[in-house]
C-alpha cells in the first residue's frame, strides 16, 4: 500500500501527496516540492502542470475516504475510545491506559502529552493531531500488539474534521467549562462542537457522559449512559480520601463496586469513573478493573506532588477556571494546610477567563503570585493587568518571570504548605513571540528539594 502524505517535506519516492487547504497553509503551494521529492501522484483541486495529477472536488474528502477504505480491514480488531471534554481528557486516557495494561490487555494512548504504548513514546504537537498522524499512531499501536487505543479528541479537532471518518468503539464526555471561546464564541456552540464525537460512534458504540454536567443534554442520545453523583447508570455512592489515595464506592446495574486509586480530588474520581464505565461498555470486567485500580495514578503534569525542604510543591496543568477551582478546593479540604498558588494565563487565547482564574486563586489561596504562562505574542504585563482585574483580595503579588515567582513562593513555604504551580503541567518550554525556550515547572521545583 502506498504511503499518503499531506506534508510535502515528508514525501519519499512513490508516495501520494494530497494538497489540503488549511487555515494557514494551502498544500497547493507546495506541489513543486512534493514533485521534486518523488511523489507518484499529486491529488489536487484544480488542474496543474505536473505529471501524475488527479483532480478532485475536495482533497480533504479524498484523503478521509482513502484512509477509511484502505485501512479499515487492517484496524478492524483494534478498539478505539475517544475522550472529549474541557478538562480531564488526558487523565482519563491515562487511566484507561494504566488499567488495561495492568490487567494484561496491551493498550496505547495519545493526546496532549503525546503517543505512548508499553513499547514506545512519541511527542505530538496538538491534542488531536492531523488525520495522517492519527492513522500512523493507530497502525503503530496495532503493530506493537495493542488491543485498545485511548485518544483525546478536542473540540477544535472535531469541528475542523481532523479525525476524518474514524469510528469509535466507545466515547466519553468529561465536562464542559469556560475555555476556547475565542474560537467557539458561545458555550452552546462549544458544546455542539464537542457533541460531533457522537457522529463518529460505531453502530453499537456508546458515549459515557458526565451526568452532573450542565451540558449533558448534548450527549444524552440513543443508548448513551451517564456516570456521576446523581442517579444514573454508573452512580457514585461515596468517596473517601486517606493520605494520597481515594476510595470510591459506585453502583451499576444494582450492584455495588469499590475501587481505591492513588489520586486526590473529586474531579479525578470523575475521570476514573469516565474511564472505568467506558471500558466496561466496550467489554471489560468491572470487578477485574476495580481490583487493579490501585495501580492507577495521575499522568505527568497532572496533580504531581513533590516534597520540598519545607512543605510540598504540586504541579498541575489546570488552565481553565473550572480546573483551577477543582484543584484549589481539593487542597482547601485538607485541614491545617497553607496554600500558596503560582499561576499565569496563556497569550493569544480566550482572555475572558483571565480575571476569573485570578479571582479564584486569590479567593482560595492564602497567598498567590500572578506570573507568565506562554505569553506567545502578547505582552506579559498586559495579561497580568487583565488577570488583576479579578482580584478583589489583596493577598497576591505580580512577578512576571515564572522562575522567580516559583522561587518566591517556595521561600514562603513551611512544613504545612502546599505550593500549587498551575497552568504549565507537563510542558517543557515557555513560548514567547513564536520562540519556545526550554523550561519546566518540574525542573524549577527540583532546585529546591
220 shares its domain with 85: yes
118 shares its domain with 243: yes
226 shares its domain with 85: yes
Encode the chain (449 residues) as per-residue pLDDT tens digits.
578 999 999 999 999 999 998 878 899 999 999 999 999 999 999 999 999 999 999 999 999 999 999 998 899 999 999 999 988 999 999 999 999 999 999 999 998 888 999 999 998 777 678 899 999 999 999 999 999 999 999 888 888 888 989 999 999 999 998 666 666 678 889 898 999 999 999 999 999 999 999 999 999 988 999 999 999 999 999 999 886 789 999 999 999 999 999 888 888 999 999 999 999 999 999 999 999 999 998 888 888 889 999 999 999 999 989 889 989 998 898 878 899 999 999 999 889 999 999 999 999 999 999 999 999 999 999 999 999 999 989 999 999 999 999 999 999 999 999 999 999 999 999 999 999 999 999 999 999 98
Which CATH number do you get for residue 131?
3.40.1190.10
Position 177 scores a pLDDT of 82
The residue behind cell 499529486 is 42
Position 123 scores a pLDDT of 83
Domain boundary residue among 240, 263, 295?
295
Which CATH number do you get for residue 415?
3.90.190.20
Position 4 scores a pLDDT of 93
365 shares its domain with 438: yes
Which CATH number do you get for residue 42?
3.40.1390.10
56 shares its domain with 87: no
118 shares its domain with 191: yes
Position 128 scores a pLDDT of 73
89 shares its domain with 47: no
Position 145 scores a pLDDT of 96
Domain boundary residue among 272, 295, 318?
295
Position 113 scores a pLDDT of 80
The structure's pTM equals: 0.81
Question: Residue 427 belongs to what domain range?
Answer: 304-446
What is the tally of structural domains in the chain?
Answer: 3
247 shares its domain with 101: yes
284 shares its domain with 313: no
Q: Are 81 and 169 in contact (CB under 8 A)?
A: yes
122 shares its domain with 197: yes
Position 101 scores a pLDDT of 96
Domain boundary residue among 295, 315, 341?
295
57 shares its domain with 82: no
342 shares its domain with 437: yes
Amino acid at each position: 500500500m502506498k504511503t499518503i502524505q499531506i506534508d510535502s517535506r515528508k514525501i519519499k519516492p512513490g508516495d501520494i501527496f494530497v494538497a489540503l487547504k488549511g487555515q494557514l497553509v494551502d498544500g497547493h503551494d507546495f506541489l513543486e516540492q512534493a514533485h521534486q521529492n518523488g511523489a507518484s501522484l499529486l491529488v489536487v483541486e484544480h488542474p496543474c502542470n505536473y505529471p501524475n495529477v488527479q483532480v478532485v472536488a475536495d482533497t480533504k474528502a479524498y484523503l478521509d475516504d482513502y484512509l477509511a477504505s484502505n485501512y479499515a480491514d487492517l484496524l478492524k480488531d483494534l478498539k478505539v475510545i475517544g475522550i472529549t471534554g474541557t478538562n480531564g481528557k488526558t487523565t482519563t486516557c491515562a487511566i484507561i491506559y494504566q488499567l488495561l495494561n495492568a490487567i494484561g490487555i496491551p493498550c496505547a494512548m495519545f493526546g496532549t502529552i503525546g503517543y505512548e504504548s508499553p513499547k514506545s513514546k512519541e511527542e505530538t504537537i496538538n491534542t488531536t493531531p492531523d488525520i495522517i498522524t492519527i492513522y500512523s499512531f493507530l497502525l503503530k499501536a496495532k503493530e506493537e500488539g495493542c488491543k485498545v487505543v485511548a485518544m483525546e479528541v478536542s473540540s477544535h479537532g472535531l469541528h475542523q474534521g481532523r479525525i476524518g471518518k474514524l469510528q469509535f468503539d466507545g466515547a466519553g464526555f468529561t465536562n464542559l467549562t469556560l475555555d476556547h471561546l475565542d474560537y467557539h464564541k458561545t458555550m452552546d456552540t462549544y458544546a455542539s462542537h464537542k457533541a460531533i464525537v457522537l457522529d463518529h460512534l460505531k453502530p453499537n458504540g456508546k458515549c459515557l457522559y458526565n451526568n452532573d454536567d450542565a451540558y449533558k443534554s448534548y450527549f444524552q442520545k440513543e443508548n448513551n449512559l451517564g456516570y456521576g453523583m446523581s442517579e444514573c447508570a454508573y452512580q457514585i455512592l461515596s468517596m473517601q480520601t486517606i493520605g494520597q489515595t481515594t476510595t470510591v464506592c459506585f453502583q451499576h446495574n444494582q450492584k455495588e463496586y469499590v475501587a481505591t486509586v492513588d489520586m486526590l480530588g473529586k474531579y479525578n474520581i470523575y475521570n476514573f469513573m469516565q474511564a472505568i464505565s467506558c471500558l466496561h461498555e466496550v467489554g471489560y470486567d468491572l470487578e477485574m478493573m476495580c481490583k487493579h485500580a490501585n495501580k492507577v495514578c495521575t499522568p505527568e503534569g497532572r496533580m504531581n506532588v513533590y516534597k520540598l525542604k519545607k512543605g510540598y510543591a504540586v504541579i498541575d496543568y489546570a488552565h481553565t477556571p473550572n480546573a483551577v477551582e477543582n484543584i484549589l478546593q481539593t487542597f482547601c479540604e485538607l485541614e491545617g494546610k497553607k496554600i500558596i498558588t503560582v499561576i499565569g494565563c496563556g497569550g493569544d487565547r480566550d482572555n475572558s477567563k483571565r480575571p476569573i482564574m485570578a479571582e479564584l486563586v486569590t479567593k482560595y489561596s492564602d497567598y498567590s503570585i500572578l506570573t507568565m504562562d506562554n505569553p506567545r505574542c502578547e505582552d506579559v504585563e498586559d495579561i497580568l493587568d487583565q488577570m488583576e482585574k479579578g482580584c478583589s483580595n489583596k493577598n497576591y503579588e505580580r512577578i512576571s518571570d515564572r522562575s522567580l515567582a516559583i522561587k518566591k513562593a517556595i521561600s514562603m513555604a513551611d512544613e504545612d504548605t502546599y505550593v500549587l504551580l498551575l497552568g504549565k503541567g507537563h510542558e517543557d518550554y515557555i513560548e514567547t513571540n513564536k520562540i519556545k525556550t526550554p523550561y519546566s515547572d518540574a525542573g524549577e521545583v527540583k532546585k529546591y528539594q
